[in-house]
Every structure is written in structure tokens, then in C-alpha cells.
Amino acid sequence: MRSTWRGRTREQPADTRGRRARVVTEPEPGPAPDPATPGAGEAPRSVSWSFDPWRERPAAAGVASAAVLGFWLAIVWMRFPLLIAVALGAMAAAPLLPAIVPAACRVSAAGAWRRGLIVTAHRAWPDVRRIDDVPVGVLLSPLAARGWLDATRALTLPMPAPRRAELRGLVRGLWGAHGG
């Protein structure tokens, strides 16, 4: 039975059994492409993909999981009251969640989104002043030059390794067409 909620939000079911990431592109509406050149005139309107850190970077995911477990064991060992222990455990795990939890990313004419376990982060193209390539994907920054504020204000879009170069090009193309 199909969920009506998914139809309203356009959420697609994630296929976690396969080894390949699913990338979905929708072509831009516009004039009909020239039949002599296949693919000409088609610029993606939106691109979405998923990133699983356990498949792409298993060593980093394992180290992050061990660190979170170590923090939690230290908190339990210190015998804090339950409410404080839960708060400290959440604060200890929050910075490491991107290295452990899969992310669903999407870029479109309106901007870029990254959905994780709890939070969905969004950047509109006019707010992005710089795109940098990082080892795991691209970094969308509201700052014109690199700085220490990138750690808190920038949005990193992780990308699956087999399609990373193609996705970087699509993100840069959408940014150039709509805000860069």
C-alpha cells in the first residue's frame, strides 16, 4: 500500500540493499533539444543522492562510533544523574553523527539540502559565496574566503565515490545558473 504522506512530500524510499548509490536527476524544462546532438539542451533541474558513510568510509565511521561509545561509557562511569547523562551523551554524539549516519542530499534551483538523522540543513544559492572540493564531496560556504567560521556555517554535501566528479560538476552548474 502506498503512503499518501510520501506522495505529498515527494520522498523516495531508500534502497539500502544495493552497493550503488541512487542518483536521480530531473531535466530542466525548456526548448526541445536538437535531435542531432543527444543530451544537448538538458540541464538538470534537481539532483538527489544518498551517502552511506559505512560503505564509503568504513574506517572513519568505525572510529567515530568507537569515540561515541567511549564518551558514553565515560559518562556512565562518572554516574551523573540521568537527565544530565542523557544531555551529555547527546552533546558528545552530535558532532560525530555525520560520520556515522547516512545522509540524503538534494540540489535544485532553490538551493541545496542535506538530511541527516535529526536535522535537515538548507542553503539557498544566493547565500552560497564559495564552493570548495573536499575529500568526501563539496563544501558550500557563505564566506568568500576560507576561515575558521566554515566549520560552523558551511554545508558539506557528501557524495558517493563512483559519481563524485559528476555530482560536483552538477552542483557547480546549478550554483552558477542560480546564484554564483
What confidence tens digit (pLDDT) does each residue in 85-138 have?
A: 999 999 999 989 989 999 999 999 889 999 988 889 999 999 999 999 999 999
- 38 has pLDDT over 60: no
- pLDDT tens figures, 40-50: 445 567 889 99
The residue behind cell 539500502 is 16
> Can you tell me the mean pLDDT for 48-68?
94
pLDDT at 21: 52
Q: Is 130 helix (H, G, I), strand (E, B) or coil?
A: strand
Q: Could you give the angle at which helices 58-77 and 82-93 cross, rounded to 10 degrees?
A: 160
Please give the model's pTM, rounded to 2 decimal places.
0.69
- 4 has pLDDT over 50: no
The residue behind cell 568510509 is 57
Q: Which of 12-16, 115-119, 175-179 has the lowest mean pLDDT?
A: 12-16
**Domain spans, the chain:** 55-101
pLDDT at 39: 45
d(C-alpha 75, C-alpha 71), whole Å: 6
pLDDT at 90: 93
